[in-house]
Amino acid sequence: MISASSSQNGQYDLVLLGILLPKLDGYGVCELIRKKSQVPIIMLTALDGEENQIRGLDLQVDDYITKPFSMPILIQKIAAVLCRAEKTDVQNRYIHYKKLTLDLDCG
């Protein structure tokens, strides 16, 4: 699971969630998250079957991306989900991670 924290208080802007996790699968993690939060969730997985996608969408994930995927598509989907979630702040339009910069301009 990869997440981008908006602050030091443990609140997250977005969760990138795999399904094939060692102890609790991504569906279970998603259920736990949804009990406490409406943080946007994008599932990234090799499981491309229709049943898997429907199960994820039934759990209220915001997008379901199957591997292999391209980084430009992933970045655009993250930007779209964050814009829909109204997480953009005029002073905080960019998310930076290593060499990756995500411009959250919804316009």
Give the model confidence (pLDDT) of 23-35 as tens digits. 999 999 999 999 9
pTM of the model: 0.76
d(CA 61, CA 31): 10
Residue 7 pLDDT greater than 60, yes or no: no
d(CA 58, CA 73): 23
- Angle 26-36/50-58 helices, nearest 10 degrees? 20
The pLDDT value recorded for residue 100 is 75
User: Domain 2-103: which CATH class?
Assistant: alpha beta
Give the model confidence (pLDDT) of 69-96 as tens digits. 998 899 889 988 988 886 544 456 677 7
The pLDDT value recorded for residue 107 is 57
More confident residue, 98 or 87: 98
The pLDDT value recorded for residue 97 is 67
Please give the radius of gyration of the chain, using alpha carbons only, rounded to the nearest integer: 14
Helix then strand then coil, % of the chain, to nearest 5: 30, 25, 40
